[in-house]
Structure 1
């Protein structure tokens, strides 16, 4: 096997070819592939492609052979050992040789050297698992050995206090601080309308925000009614009783102000503002994340905020104010109680009567 530092350009070309081939594992024809691509979220496709490309690069550099399905269980176990940290006499360590780690960074398969976050490893395994399932191949990720190692790894990380990272929730107080940074310029009006629309209509996901149009956001006497189509929990866009999300009060006023100033009469609501006040194309999901982060920075508030902070902030604030969980889920569109209950309980914790039995 060649050393990782030699033939890097060839490895780059090879791993890209392998990743492209593996990217087709769900399809038998170009038409089917196109349908799967169109029906999937852009972020999902990008993360899947990134994972496959990394598997191909790691396999070639670490084992000296191209990635091919099915993968043996021992290879998956080696991948885990290479990318998660375990206790050693010298402290926390991982098994990926430094030279190979550097080579992966050199070909831009990794951003920086060192172990992955546990969530990243779990995602890489999930993508590999799905690839095997789609091909009806023996799935090493479902083996007892892999599942046991991952169970023990999660426990080890938890004992170290390294739980899953979550973005901070934008509850009412920090949200007000973000809104205070929005002036009456076109960008300020847009950002104020976007923040209030996303938060007050039930904590909309950024993919849902960028799909809001004047065709699916109708004016009503109380303000606006945003009719959601396809979403993360409703991939087929099936008509549901809770698909209409109200945009009322301050959120409606902010949206009306933005529409009047931008003179948008059809199509996407939230758009780029170019130099000279020229209204451009629709914002991307990534732009929504950047807007939230930029406003948080401008407000000078401490914490790690992103687009999901609007969603978690809505649920947390609703729990703090004692709203029933069913009403909250009707607004957010969560399909599972398990995914929303944590934020709800966090918000309701300080107002719990059970905490004041001695008062």
Structure 2
């Protein structure tokens, strides 16, 4: 019994002064407020625009008065900016105030009334990435020239992007080590995403398709084989090329993914069309929202409805179920 009783306190190391934690606390707080990399980039540009305008009109940007923000919003509206763009600028301004522990004028009741008025006057309908049909997508993929490394890569991007309902940021952030093949297909470890900023474990499953020409799993394997032939068995999954189709070690950019989609599917589409088309195609095929959300990682069914592109009035219409 005596052996269990400590006669001296355990060593815990030197005690830090409370103020020593202040800088680290601030860094953690900032990381919690900053959000996704793309959001940070957009906010930074919006904040620069706001501070430049404040300088021109002789107003303080931080902290900003309610009248200052109201004037800036009116300025943006007069320039013809869309409601979504104005709202993003306001979010950037609010974020800057949060980071500096200032009350934000965006929380003022009068400002919310102003923003509501702008929305009513300008309308809030947002331009969305269009969805393509499965038939169109298959024709495009089957026609890709696979004699060139770029064709092998681009086919893998398109098929994996659609089958995995990936955002372009997620696609370009994938490493070879994030892929795991089995008899059913491919499991992908998604390190981070727009809805998973803290790196919780998240996975997506991609399955073998009957037609080898449009099989996302085989397309990825073909690309991995090409990478391995060039000594690349780790690191970025999708990389850029030198002129002459020589592989680089540079991770593909999100802008390049957008160009790949437009090159093959048409200029009216964007990289986000891959994700929107996944939702639309599977919804029309009868998948319920829970199954779709398991792949897209959306948090609410409302987002599934927003992503579903049913441009044809006869698509998914309950009038067909009347039985007349």
Tell me the TM-score normalized by structure 1.
Answer: 0.73
Report whether the alignment pairs 1:118 with 2:86: no
Question: Is the 2:241–2:247 Cα contact (8 Å) retained in structure 1?
Answer: yes
1:60 maps to what in 2? 55
CA distance in 1, matches of 2:316, 2:44: 45
Shift of 1:35: 8.1
1:318 maps to what in 2? 282
Structure 1 residues 41 and 178, CA gap change in structure 2 (3 angstroms): farther
1:172 maps to what in 2? 134
Shift of 1:333: 0.7
Report whether the alignment pairs 1:132 with 2:97: yes
Structure 1 residues 351 and 69, CA gap change in structure 2 (3 angstroms): closer
Structure 1 residues 182 and 28, CA gap change in structure 2 (3 angstroms): farther
Determine which of 260, 263, 277 is the counterpart of 1:291. 260
| Segment drifting more, 257-266 vs 278-287 | 257-266
Question: Is the 2:141–2:155 Cα contact (8 Å) retained in structure 1?
Answer: yes
CA distance in 1, matches of 2:135, 2:70: 46
Count of residues in correspondence between the two structures? 291
Shift of 1:177: 4.3
RMSD across aligned positions (CA): 2.7
1:144 maps to what in 2? 109
1:100 maps to what in 2? none
CA distance in 2, matches of 1:31, 1:224: 40
Structure 2: any 5+ residue segments left out of the alignment? Answer: 1-21, 210-214
Tell me the TM-score normalized by structure 2.
Answer: 0.81
CA distance in 2, matches of 1:257, 1:182: 14
Question: Is the 2:30–2:99 Cα contact (8 Å) retained in structure 1?
Answer: no
After superposition, give the CA deviation of every residue in 1:30-73 in whole Å (9 maximum; x if it has no partner). Answer: 99399849x85432222121111111111111x134x4322111
After superposition, give the CA deviation of every residue in 1:116-153 in whole Å (9 maximum; x if it has no partner). Answer: 22211111001101122233322211111111121122
1:21 maps to what in 2? none
Structure 1 residues 35 and 131, CA gap change in structure 2 (3 angstroms): closer
Report whether the alignment pairs 1:262 with 2:256: no
After superposition, give the CA deviation of every residue in 1:92-124 in whole Å (9 maximum; x if it has no partner). Answer: xx2xxxxxxxxxxxxxxxxxxx43222111110
Determine which of 114, 120, 144 is the counterpart of 1:155. 120
CA distance in 2, matches of 1:34, 1:259: 40
Report whether the alignment pairs 1:76 with 2:69: yes
CA distance in 1, matches of 2:251, 2:261: 16
Report whether the alignment pairs 1:191 with 2:154: yes
Structure 1 residues 64 and 174, CA gap change in structure 2 (3 angstroms): farther
Shift of 1:305: 1.4
Structure 1: any 5+ residue segments left out of the alignment? Answer: 1-26, 85-93, 95-113, 298-302
Greater Rg, structure 1 or structure 2?
A: 2
Question: Is the 2:54–2:61 Cα contact (8 Å) retained in structure 1?
Answer: no
CA distance in 1, matches of 2:288, 2:143: 32
CA distance in 1, matches of 2:121, 2:26: 45
CA distance in 2, matches of 1:148, 1:142: 11
CA distance in 2, matches of 1:260, 1:41: 32
